[in-house]
Amino acid sequence: MNKEQKTIELEKKYPGAFESVKNLLECLGEDVEREGLLDTPYRVVKSFEELFRGYDETPEDILSTCFEEGLENHTEGMVLCDHISFYSTCEHHMIPFTGICHIGYIPNKKVVGLSKLVRLVHAYGRRLQIQEKMCSQIVEAIMKYLEPSGCGVVIVAKHLCTSARGVQNHTNHMTTSEMRGTFRDEPATRAEFLELVKLSGSVNLST
């Protein structure tokens, strides 16, 4: 398929999207016919398709394939998947925020591969989001589909909407956490989770 055909297909898939991008450019006082901007509507729509792909991904699809074997003798050991990097878009300003997500849970009967948890984070990240909601959506999905005795999620992110506009705070990170089950009810479990997150950040696996 050549570029022209691709453009026609994309315009058909998202009616009005190209015009909307052109309108925004014109609001900026730009000439949408100048060479540098000719393909911009196509590129913006194409990149939105990727940045907001999460709307097509459900936690059911991602977490339904889990392992139940081998956990018969499992006793309260914690699984930690830390430093999952993600990209998201603030729903208030449609400006990116990026960060890392740490997930811990104590399996009851089910565990999933690390790649599934990465996919889960990206599925919720690739939507219009606020960090607090993303944090609770991840923890709720894990509680629902893996049924662990507890789960904790910590997200540390940098918001371009505060560094590029408004208060222009260039150093501000936001940290959010959500705890469920034993992670919420048992201080020792919560402390172990936070300690493991801290420890994992200090380990250099590159050698």
Residues lying near Zn ion in the complex (CB under 5 A) are found at 90, 92-93, 161
Tell me how far, at minimum, the Cβ of 130 lies from Zn ion, in Å. 8
Give whichever of 93 and 110 is closer to Zn ion, judged by the CB atom: 93
Tell me how far, at minimum, the Cβ of 197 lies from Zn ion, in Å. 26
Give whichever of 81 and 90 is closer to Zn ion, judged by the CB atom: 90
- Longest CA–CA separation in the chain, Å: 67
Give whichever of 176 and 182 is closer to Zn ion, judged by the CB atom: 176
Q: Which residue has the tokens 């201080």?
A: 187
- Gap between the Cα atoms of 4 and 10, Å rounded: 10
Give whichever of 51 and 179 is closer to Zn ion, judged by the CB atom: 51
Give whichever of 96 and 147 is closer to Zn ion, judged by the CB atom: 96
Tell me how far, at minimum, the Cβ of 190 lies from Zn ion, in Å. 29
- Cβ–Cβ under 8 Å, residues 137 and 129: no
- Gap between the Cα atoms of 126 and 119, Å rounded: 10
At a CB cut-off of 8 Å and minimum separation 6, what does 32 contact?
22, 25, 26, 38, 40, 41
Alpha helices in the chain (DSSP H): 3-13, 17-27, 40-51, 59-63, 114-125, 131-146, 160-163, 182-185, 187-202
Tell me how far, at minimum, the Cβ of 57 lies from Zn ion, in Å. 23
- Gap between the Cα atoms of 27 and 35, Å rounded: 18
Tell me how far, at minimum, the Cβ of 90 lies from Zn ion, in Å. 3
Give whichever of 22 and 93 is closer to Zn ion, judged by the CB atom: 93
Tell me how far, at minimum, the Cβ of 92 lies from Zn ion, in Å. 4
DSSP 73-125: T--SPPEEEEEEEEEEEETTT--EEEEEEEEEEE-SS-B--HHHHHHHHHHHH
